[in-house]
Amino acid sequence: MNFKIILSTALLFLMLMDPFGNLPVFVVMLKRNSVSEYRHIIFRESVFALAAMLIALFAGGMLLKLLHLSEDKLGIAGGLILFIIGLKMVFSSFSAAEIAEEKEPYIVPLAIPLICGPGLIAMLVTQSAKIYESIIALLIAWMVQMLILLGGKTISAKLGKKPLDALESLMGLLLTVVSVSMIIDSINQIYGIGPAK
């Protein structure tokens, strides 16, 4: 078991979960809830998101075979999705006015697609060959994002909007670099360019 791969994969999963980008959305949507209610909702939605992630991870290989798709082709599609998500993170301009006040959210939109979005699902599907490392990496990333969101009201109040925006932009920049690397690696695999992995 390669711990360096686990940590790098966990970091990638964490960037895709984007806890700092999601934090203002969670705080605004749950602003009428008490701190204990807020934490209960965060934990519940994180568990729902983890269940969706594990389904994507375990069923990913089966789905690829069923649709007659190869991992390298899915890697290009996943890379493009990550690239778009990364650009949105870099140039995000969250506004509290964009979020409509409604009753307590349940699964949608907090668990899916905010925590477990299409980019993360696409990435998980391609990880079915490294199942054990991916599970450990996923659990590490999930725990970190949940801890960040659990302390959301405190973090948001102390840091303010600008530092959160800067963190999200940084994570978005790293994500675009990863996405370009994924696309290049997948193209190399399809055409047999470079050393075999």
pLDDT by residue (tens digit) across 31-73?
888 889 999 999 999 999 999 999 999 987 787 778 777 767 7
What's the pLDDT score for residue 158?
80
Per-residue pLDDT at 101 exceeds 60:
no
Q: CA torsion sign, 82 to 88 to 90 to 95?
A: negative
- Cα(129)–Cα(139) distance, integer angstroms: 17
What's the pLDDT score for residue 94?
58
Partners of residue 106 on adjacent β-strands: 108
Helix (H, G, I), strand (E, B) or coil at 106: strand
pTM: 0.77
- Classify residue 82 as exposed, middle or buried by CB count within 10 Å of its CB (0-12, 13-18, 19+): buried
Q: Which amino acid is at 143?
A: M
